[in-house]
Amino acid sequence: MIDLHIHSYYSDGVYSPKELVQCAKELGLSTVCLTDHNGIDGVEEFLTTGQSLGMKVISGVEIYSYLDVGGLSNNRKHIHILGYDFDTKNKALNKALKKLQKRHIPQVKTTIKALQEHEWNIDEKKVFDTKATYIGSATIAGVIIKDSQNWERIQKDFKNRKIIPITEIIGKYFFKAYGRIYEESEISIEKAITLIKNAGGKIVLAHPGQHLSWEDEDIIVELKQIGLDGIEAVTSHHSWQEIEHWQIVAKELDLMITVGSDFHGYVPKEWDFIIRGPWDYFFQQCDRYSRHFLNLG
Ligand SMILES: [Zn+2]
Ligand SMILES: [Zn+2]
């Protein structure tokens, strides 16, 4: 079994790179890749652990990027680009990712301030004390829900539902209740592709069903021209129909087809996921963690 899309606590995942590899080994995966958002700080630990356990491990990253379709900024698509098997020591790549992480800090501070203004208990220090080198929305949300008063408030807002997915918490408080108080930091897709290519890596479009429609094949053609090597057709974000559709697109355009769970570590087991099979191990882990994380006892 292969999984080429996993997150650690260096972005918005829960586990350390070492724990992820150990867990993958225990559950019989043969090839794994860590793809943290906008950062590669966990890759060395991931690779070293994997090698010592005799697994095939690949360097990886998931870069938030944007594509202005037809060169128009009002026709902007937000696309996640996966980079694989690159030189982790590449200077330009490391520099660009560090710059992106730094550029994101004011955004994180603005979001925290907005939350404080709406009387959430959130200490900026706690957010910046996390291991995350790129602080995403889930990292901030993770700090919020660990406070018991905040958690009570959330439960009340969600009418005491037993399971409250973190994506719903983010959607409600970061994008709706007080307007849009959070944005991810991105680079242009051309830049993301160039950085990975120059570091000797391959480019894969992450979970296209999340950002593109079935009519967007022209965009894939455009991306292929600038260096796209593959499509993550098999992902937990896709329905069976989408998995089939994106495999057909990949085959038609002679692109690789890749498989990735996009495991972060805190998705409750009770979520109605469509895909089963290689992801069973994630459910076990998710369950273990979500009970602790969501105070379910
Ligand atoms: Zn993604
Ligand atoms: Zn991801």
How many percent of the chain have pLDDT more than 70?
89
**Sign of CA pseudo-dihedral 245, 249, 252, 255:** negative
- Measured in angstroms, how far is the CA atom of residue 233 from the centroid of ligand 1? 13
Confidence band of 234 (pLDDT split at 50, 70, 90): confident
Task: Go through the domains of the chain in sequence order and give each one's CATH number.
Answer: 2-99+184-293 (3.20.20.140)
How many percent of the chain have pLDDT more than 90?
68
- Measured in angstroms, how far is the CA atom of residue 149 from the centroid of ligand 1? 30
Confidence band of 249 (pLDDT split at 50, 70, 90): very high
Q: Tell whether the model's pLDDT for residue 295 goes beyond 50.
A: no
- Measured in angstroms, how far is the CA atom of residue 195 from the centroid of ligand 2? 19
Listed range (37-51, 63-77, 94-108, 117-131) with the worst mean pLDDT: 63-77
Q: Tell whether the model's pLDDT for residue 294 goes beyond 70.
A: no
Helix (H, G, I), strand (E, B) or coil at 34: strand
- Measured in angstroms, how far is the CA atom of residue 35 from the centroid of ligand 1? 9
Q: From CA 130, how far away is CA 41, in angstroms rounded?
A: 13
Residue 161: its pLDDT value, please? 83
Residue 162: its pLDDT value, please? 76
> In this structure, are strands 56-58 and 31-34 parallel, antiparallel, or unpaired?
parallel
Residue 279: its pLDDT value, please? 52
Residue 3: closest CA among 273, 265, 266, 262: 262
Which chain residues have CB less than 5 Å from ligand 2, an ion? 62, 262
